């Protein structure tokens, strides 16, 4: 026969009742997680053709606009009763919709494909027996493969860069026995000023971005 632990509970009026011990929502040990969702890149300032002196210091600043994209992330971590530390790999993809310049714009023909690698630390206070809140952040890098085929330059720019990145995170987890969590996560992701270049014969073209800010919303499952 399976044993069941019981507690004696004193309730108003002096009566005694039996109640089952609530299953602990926190665990200590290894876990892995998978999550999928959407990714939005904020409009970003870009400096164009500022490297090669033949362009006279570059063109007027432009603004890059992106379509809504997707995100897929995986985590491997260790959990304590109220904290988690984890390694995260993420893949994000967005189409470059528009380059806005003074007096006009150049549409379409570009991509941002990104592979991020982060070390995260999160605080996990319990809201109820089955629900936890997650708050934290991470540091790492963002490897970006870039395409600009919009016609803004005399040649397309196809290049890549790896830059410093950091993020802030917030989420909710719902515990399913015996060892699963369903969760939703939000990330504010910040990639530090990537630069992309391409040669047009002897001339060098560049798109130098300001800070790239991203908003990623995902749902996922965690196994522990």
Distance CA 163, CA 190 (A): 10
Q: pLDDT category, 10, cuts 50, 70, 90?
A: very low
* pTM summary value: 0.85
Least confident of 3-12, 76-85, 121-130, 204-213: 3-12
What pLDDT sits at residue 25? 52
What pLDDT sits at residue 192? 96
Q: Would you say residue 217 has pLDDT above 80?
A: yes
pLDDT per residue as tens digits for the range 21-67: 334 457 789 999 999 999 999 999 998 888 888 877 777 788 999 99
DSSP string, 55-70: GTT-PPPEEEEE--EE
Pick left, alpha or beta for residue 109 (phi over 0 → left; psi -120 to 50 → alpha; otherwise beta): left
Domains of the chain: 29-223 (2.40.160.20)
Nearest to 164 by CA among 197, 144, 130, 139: 139
Distance CA 215, CA 168 (A): 10
Q: Are 216 and 37 in contact, with CB atoms under 8 Å apart? A: yes
């Amino acid at each position: 026969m399976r044993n069941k632990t019981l507690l004696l509970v004193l309730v108003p009026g002096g009566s005694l009742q039996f109640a089952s011990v609530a299953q602990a929502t926190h665990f200590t040990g290894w876990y892995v997680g998978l999550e999928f969702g959407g990714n939005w890149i904020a409009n970003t300032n870009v400096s164009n053709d500022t490297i090669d002196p033949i362009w006279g210091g570059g063109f007027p600043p432009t603004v890059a606009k992106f379509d809504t994209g997707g995100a897929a992330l995986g985590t491997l971590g260790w959990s304590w009763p109220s904290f988690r530390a984890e390694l995260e790999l993420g893949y994000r993809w967005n189409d470059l919709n528009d380059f806005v310049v003074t007096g006009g714009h150049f549409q379409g023909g570009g991509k941002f494909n990104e592979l991020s690698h982060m070390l995260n630390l999160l605080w996990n206070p319990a809201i109820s027996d089955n629900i936890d809140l997650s708050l934290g952040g991470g540091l790492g890098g963002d490897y970006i493969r870039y395409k600009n085929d919009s016609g803004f330059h005399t040649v397309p720019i196809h290049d890549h860069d790896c830059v410093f990145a950091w993020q802030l995170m917030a989420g909710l987890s719902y515990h399913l026995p015996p060892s699963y969590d369903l969760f939703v996560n939000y990330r504010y992701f910040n990639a530090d000023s990537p630069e992309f270049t391409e040669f047009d014969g002897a001339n060098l073209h560049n798109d130098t971005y300001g800070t790239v800010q991203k908003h990623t919303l995902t749902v996922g499952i965690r196994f522990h």
